[in-house]
Chain A
């Protein structure tokens, strides 16, 4: 029997919690072979809901948490006021070794903060990164994945060149595993494709990434290359990543609103939309974020999959599957190994430079 993976699920987090979260977890218990699911939340509520669903009762357990963080609460304040909130207890369970991974559709800031306060970073990783997936024109990997990964989107605002290299390693390892993409194309987001474009940390990160053989680094890309899908993994600081993500979401919402307006306003436009409806449906199915499940918080010794706040049961099941895949594929171990290899290479480089400068230095006496 392969080792049982224990996935902790914040059952109270998300717009549709706990109903859709519990339903998604129940379905995952039937679909995944060697997983134990720990639902954290109000035991009375969860205990009433579970027996109404098809599930495997020997692999879904409940851990009581009397409160939870609302979606619109301020993260730091909420965690201070509610030390027994479901996300806090869930992160604690993983930190104590009673769980192997965490899935939450709840308040993003509170989830990231709860993990950051309790979990330890992988050796060699200086900062964690929250990733997000974005639908692109080009597809990738064995599964023809229509999503690219962009990180960081808000976990770390100020980053150094070393942090960006770490993000590149983490994003590449994740894309390799989840999209079955053997050599994910990794790029740095900048204001030009030339290596010397951008702020100092981006230029230094470019110089370091060019040296790596572990990653398929394709250089710098510009904002317009993100939706095109030029890169499979887009690396940037949390500040820029968050701005980019919000802007892309805003553009997408505006397009939908314009289409609705057109549908209402003129018959000819409505007919045009009807004619395009099958193509629009296809586009919707390609860019259906629910199939992707969630995006990871990378850099810690345990995987955390942050599902979309509006996640329904299907999205939650898929987020749990992603967490399972991350555990089965030893995502954190792979990141740590690559970070160690990069560190080793850097140390060898430093030694070689010291030796050569020592050999060239004039002898005293």
Chain B
């Protein structure tokens, strides 16, 4: 026992220089892959943090300063996000990987926030912006693709899962990066196409070479089954149609939970817990959750049958105690009825059919994203 404790202490001490090095911009944090003999994960969930998990404003310098000064307890997760992430992390064979554009100096605060929220994660990668500044790589400060794509490829090289689900937001280029990553793994994007995308993304030459090397050796399969884009800016959902049915824009995490229930990743009981966290946040009530169900059905992302099946199963879960101690809520049958009514309000209308997905032109998407970002900057919107 004493020996193990000594080993633990030594292990902690041995990582200290790396942690310090990362803090002062000397080293990059490389996520640990699987331990020798460890079984590969069944399902990997990759999460962005800012505007996806955490309610963060960084549209102005004042916002950036405020973020840097905030304590872990002051940081706020979006309602339902913690419950969803907790539910996903609790399952056997699930791996939680966080890739954030926040600077490495915020690791301690962000890690503390995740701990406060009861989230167990396997990987946590942050952006080494100090290193970028010290090396005069100012383009890298804002670059998204040359940062996130290799971080995700590196992570998959260390621990490749059969399935992957990705969570991002509509503030940056998450939809493009996630689809590019998915298509790379599935072999739908060639290395020469990737090279063209990296040039369009203004990646530095050595970064581009490293990304291409990672793309060559990453375990290939059509692993990315689902991508969620949290509509933090309330962008029009149809703006994401071109990315196909696999990418679902969501207004809140109840909608994400519904899709994951349909995908058989979450149980009805786990969906209830996401809903309860949202109600407890005081930012949602039963009516707005029911409206969220209607919205996602209308958009053809969840079927009516799924919503009705969830209502049945959730009823069973409620009977078995999922709602015990919740005297603030009406009886479950009343809740389920409200949800069914919202579905009925749609009449006999059917959602628009999905067109066959065309191959995405990533170079054009990257150019459009740069143009969009430039125009937002001109308008003073970050």
A-side interface residues toward B, CB under 8 Å?
1, 4, 6, 30, 36, 42-44, 47-48, 50-64, 66
Contacts and interface: CB of A to CB of B under 8 A. Distances in A.
B234 A55 contact: yes
A30 B234 contact: yes
B251 A4 contact: no
B347 A58 contact: no
A1 B291 contact: no
A47 B288 contact: no
A52 B349 contact: no
A42 B350 CA distance: 12
A64 B350 CA distance: 12
A50 B298 contact: yes
A61 B290 CA distance: 9
Given A62-B298, A63-B345, A57 B282 contact: no
Contacts of A6: 287
Contact of B288 (A42, A50, A59, A66): A59
A53 B234 CA distance: 9
A60 B291 contact: yes
B352 A48 contact: yes
Nearest to B291: A61
Task: Give the interface residue-count category, chain B.
Answer: 20 to 34
Contacts of B236: 51-55
Given A1-B282, A56-B251, A66 B347 contact: yes
A4 B345 contact: no
A235 B352 CA distance: 51
A58 B346 contact: no
A54 B236 CA distance: 5
B346 A43 contact: yes
B252 interface: yes
B295 A60 contact: yes
Given A53-B236, A58-B252, A4 B294 contact: no
Contacts of A53: 236
Contacts of A61: 291, 294-295, 342, 345
A64 B346 contact: yes
Contacts of B122: none
A50 B234 CA distance: 12
Q: Chain B binding site: helix, strand, loop or mixed by DSSP? A: loop
B121 interface: no
A14 B215 CA distance: 56
A62 B294 contact: yes
A4 B285 contact: yes
30 contacts: A1-B283, A1-B285, A4-B288, A6-B287, A36-B287, A36-B291, A42-B349, A43-B347, A43-B349, A47-B352, A51-B238, A51-B298, A52-B236, A54-B234, A54-B235, A55-B234, A55-B236, A57-B231, A57-B295, A58-B284, A58-B291, A58-B295, A60-B291, A60-B295, A61-B294, A61-B295, A61-B345, A62-B294, A64-B347, A64-B348
Contacts of A47: 298-299, 346, 349, 351-352
Nearest to A43: B349
A62 B345 contact: yes
Contact of B287 (A4, A51, A62): A4
Given A56-B234, A58-B251, 5 more contacts: A4-B285, A42-B349, A47-B352, A52-B238, A64-B347
B238 A57 contact: no
A352 B108 CA distance: 78
B109 to A, nearest CB: 28
Contacts of B82: none
A20 to B, nearest CB: 16
Nearest to A65: B347
B60 to A, nearest CB: 20
B382 interface: no
Contacts of A4: 285, 287-288
Nearest to B251: A57
B330 to A, nearest CB: 15
Contacts of A1: 282-283, 285
B97 interface: no
A50 B282 CA distance: 26
Interface in B207-248: 231, 233-238
5 closest Cβ contacts across the A-B interface? A64-B347, A57-B295, A57-B251, A43-B349, A51-B237
A36 B288 contact: yes
Contacts of B291: 36, 57-61
Contacts of B351: 47
A295 B305 CA distance: 42
Nearest to B237: A51
B203 interface: no
Which of A36, A50, A57 has the most C-beta atoms of chain B within 10 angstroms of its own C-beta? A57
A43 B238 CA distance: 17
A53 B237 CA distance: 8
A43 to B, nearest CB: 4
Given A64-B347, A66-B347, A58 B235 contact: no
Contacts of B140: none
Nearest to B299: A51
A57 B299 CA distance: 10
Contacts of A55: 234, 236
